[in-house]
Amino acid sequence: MGFYLYCVGPPGLSPPDVPGLEDAPLLLVTADALEACVSALGDRPAPTVERVRRHHRVVRAATSERLTPLPARFGQWFPSREALAARLLEGGDGYRRALENVRGALEFGVRLRASSPSLADTPSPRAAAPIGSAVPPVTGEGAGRAYMMALARRRDAERERRERAVRTLEPLRSRLRPLARAERLEEPSRRAVDEETVAAVAHLVPRAQISRYREEVLRFAAARPELRVELDGPSPPYSFAG
């Protein structure tokens, strides 16, 4: 029986009273003054929405008002307790530095949605040049070239819209940076599942600044009603755990 990892914390982390993957109870594996919250699991889990949700639920439950563990990326399975302990020992100093960085802080995310009118001046790239429909199903000479040109136009339109969205968010980011311990501008490439988000930024916000952080986002959204701004958080600091 192996072990599936949810998060890594300092001494004092306790396994939350929620079920892990496959409803297994949560346990702690301790090594080098680090605590890993795990549950027994027979094999490496395939990613599904339900398992991702369950993983997140455990990490949330382990994140208390007094302790912020490092959320683990989904999918980390170890064949034995010893194998996990060895990895904790191997990277112990780095994990402790990361724990110190997130100590007393949580993650917030701000997203700018594509349907914001000021971003809609440029037609949606997908609507402007969707693969398979922007180029008529022609055959013969020049068809391949036309298809590649349509793809290039679509790529250019996406880049232009993203750059405009990042510029639009900049005034808000400049207000939020003093309230945050760290900032991470999202890269669009891995957010393919969320096409409507054209710019997103994550902040690591100390608990004491959470109210002011929210107020700044709300103030910005109120001042720019033409934009669709979304805020999520506080959540465990996934974006700042590595």
Partner 1 sequence: MTMDALAPHSVEPQEPVGPAPQEDMPLAVLLSRVLDRGVVLTGDVVIGVAGVDLLYLGLDLVLASVESLGERGARPLPSRRPGG
Q: 171 preceded by cis ω (within 30°)?
A: no
Q: Are 241 and 70 in contact (CB under 8 A)?
A: yes
Q: Are 199 and 225 in contact (CB under 8 A)?
A: no
226 binds partner 1 (CB under 8 A): no
Select the residue interacting with partner 1 from 135, 147, 206, 224 (CB under 8 A).
206
Angle in degrees, CA 122, 128, 132, rounded to 5? 160
Compute the distance between CA of residue 178 and CA of residue 180 in angstroms, rounded to an integer.
Answer: 6
44 binds partner 1 (CB under 8 A): yes
How big is the site for partner 1, counted in residues (CB under 8 A)?
71
63 binds partner 1 (CB under 8 A): yes
Select the residue interacting with partner 1 from 111, 161, 162, 203 (CB under 8 A).
111
150 binds partner 1 (CB under 8 A): no
Helix axis angle for 143-176 and 210-223, nearest 10°, is 120
16 binds partner 1 (CB under 8 A): no
Select the residue interacting with partner 1 from 39, 95, 162, 168 (CB under 8 A).
95
9 binds partner 1 (CB under 8 A): no
The closest alpha carbon to 188, from 210, 213, 219, 155, belongs to 155
> Which of these ranges, 87-95, 117-125, 137-145, 153-161, lies near partner 1 under the rule CB under 8 A?
87-95
The closest alpha carbon to 110, from 224, 18, 23, 2, belongs to 224
197 binds partner 1 (CB under 8 A): yes
5 binds partner 1 (CB under 8 A): yes
Instruction: Residue 237: count other Cβ atoms within 10 Å of its Cβ.
Output: 29
52 binds partner 1 (CB under 8 A): yes
Report 157-196 residues binding partner 1 (CB under 8 A).
Answer: 186, 190-196
74 binds partner 1 (CB under 8 A): yes
Select the residue interacting with partner 1 from 13, 21, 37, 70 (CB under 8 A).
70
